[in-house]
């Protein structure tokens, strides 16, 4: 279904039944009995949950942004959308990455409805991800489609593969950023953006 939208999706998608059988295998492998009452419906629930978690493969972020507004009375100041909460899954462990995205851009004639920014974040977040790639994909897509004078994306997220397994470090978060155009080349533009998102005091250096 999504093959035309995302090259990563193989042509031959397994059936729902095959996906449910795979979950059953994982339950067995974990050491439980998939036939006991509490687990009977679990494979189908997990597959339904996966449909939500990975709905982004069927979405085209460029299409989401396609409708832009050009009559903005010459507005050319920074537009910032703060604290866009997202849920993603790390591609190494398939456990949640939960955090916030801050997006800014300097329009050049074209602006986009703010809900579209959030939908672009979700379209990329609802795939298997690493935070660095998510950050770059959001920034690059906004840059390509809106062709603004600059784009800034900062993501602050906590990774359950860090907090619930492996090194078990709850309370840690990771910050990534990608700055393009004026946000990369002009320190005062970058500072203004970081002030808007409450990060003015510096953790973030001069570029991605």
> Is there a catalytic annotation at residue 126?
no
Residues 175, 154: contact at Cβ < 8 Å? yes
Cα 201 to Cα 84, 171, 198: the distances in Å are 21, 21, 8
Catalytic residue among 59, 90, 126, 192: 90
**Closest-approach residue to Zn ion (CB):** 161
From 33-41, 65-73, 83-91, 184-192, span contacting Zn ion (CB under 5 A) = 83-91
Alpha-carbon distance of 9 to 19, in angstroms, equals 15
Any idea what DSSP says for residue 32?
A: -
Active site residue 73: no
Q: Which of 87, 93, 147, 160 is catalytic?
A: 93
Helices and strands: H and E segment counts in the chain: 8, 5
- Residue placing its CB nearer to Zn ion in the complex, 140 or 160: 160
Pull the structure tokens for residue 54: 């990975």
Q: How far is the CB of 89 from Zn ion (least distance, A)?
A: 9
119 near Zn ion, rule: CB under 5 A: no
Site for Zn ion in 138-167 (CB under 5 A): 161
Residue 154, C-beta contacts closer than 8 angstroms, at least 6 positions apart = 101, 102, 135, 175, 176, 177, 194, 197, 199, 204
Q: And the tokens for 41? A: 């419906």
Pick 8 or 40: Cβ nearer Zn ion: 8
Residue nearer to Zn ion on the CB measure, 79 or 90:
90
Structure tokens given for 58: 């069927």
Which is nearer to Zn ion, 164 or 185 (by Cβ)? 164
Q: Mark whether 131 is an active-site residue.
A: yes
> Binding to Zn ion by residue 92, rule CB under 5 A?
yes
- Binding residues (CB under 5 A) for Zn ion: these are 90, 92-93, 161
Q: Annotated catalytic sites, by residue?
A: 90-93, 131, 159, 161
């Amino acid at each position: 279904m999504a093959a035309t939208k995302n090259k990563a999706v193989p042509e031959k998608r397994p059936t729902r039944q095959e996906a449910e059988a795979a979950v059953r295998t994982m339950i067995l492998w974990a050491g439980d009995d998939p036939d006991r009452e509490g687990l009977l419906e679990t494979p189908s629930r997990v597959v339904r949950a996966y449909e939500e978690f990975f709905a982004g493969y069927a979405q085209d972020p460029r299409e989401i942004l396609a409708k832009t507004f050009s009559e903005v009375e010459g507005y050319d100041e920074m537009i910032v959308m703060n604290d866009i909460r997202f849920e993603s899954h790390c591609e190494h462990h398939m456990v949640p990455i939960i955090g916030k995205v801050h997006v800014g851009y300097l329009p050049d004639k074209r602006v986009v409805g703010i809900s579209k920014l959030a939908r672009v974040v979700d379209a990329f977040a609802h795939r298997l991800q690493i935070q660095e790639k998510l950050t770059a994909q959001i920034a690059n897509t906004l840059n390509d489609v809106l062709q603004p004078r600059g784009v800034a994306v900062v993501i602050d997220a906590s990774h359950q593969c860090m907090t619930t397994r492996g090194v078990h470090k709850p309370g840690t978060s990771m910050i990534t950023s990608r700055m393009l155009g004026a946000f990369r080349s002009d320190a005062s533009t970058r500072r203004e953006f970081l002030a808007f998102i409450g990060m003015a005091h510096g953790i973030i250096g001069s570029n991605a």
